[in-house]
Amino acid sequence: MIRRLFTYARPVKRKVSWLVLFTVIRSAQLPALTWIVGLTSPVRSRARHRAARVAVAGYGLLAVLTDGLFHFRQRYALEIGETVVNGLRQEIFDRMQRMPMSSSTA
């Protein structure tokens, strides 16, 4: 059934590929955000103070990139879903148009 649904996504095959890539990247981004938070330890020396600034700047940049990627991941998923649903509706409509009007076969 899943394979059949993917046939309706053929017109947007490129978006499906991008969506898979975005999903894989995002799965690495969320643990990376947690890892960067772990790097920011209490500041005791000037070297650590600079390291904390870099970690906070890196966190901010990664957070913005993660949010931007999430936007496009959602957008592509919705567009692919609409394409699949429209393909299914069109197939049902075409099938209904080929059916005879009368219910009797006599």
Query: Looking at the 3D structure of the chain, how many domains does it have?
Result: 1
Cα distance between residue 54 and residue 75, in whole Å: 32
Domain region containing 77: 11-96
* The pair of three-digit structure tokens given for residue 99, joined into one six-digit string: 């059916």
Q: What is the pLDDT of residue 105?
A: 58
> Is 5 inside any structural domain?
no
The whole-number average pLDDT for the span 75-80 is 95
Cβ partners under 8 Å of residue 49, min gap 6: 43
Residue 2: name the closest of 21, 16, 18 by CA. 16
> Is 86 inside any structural domain?
yes
> Is 29 inside any structural domain?
yes
pLDDT digits (tens, 9 = 90+) for 16-63: 999 999 999 999 998 988 888 877 766 555 666 777 788 888 889 999
> Is 46 inside any structural domain?
yes
Q: What is the mean pLDDT of the chain?
A: 86
Q: First and final CA of the chain: distance in angstroms? A: 36
Report the alpha-carbon angle 20-25-72, nearest 5. Answer: 65
The whole-number average pLDDT for the span 8-21 is 93
> Is 35 inside any structural domain?
yes
> Is 36 inside any structural domain?
yes
> Is 31 inside any structural domain?
yes
> Is 80 inside any structural domain?
yes
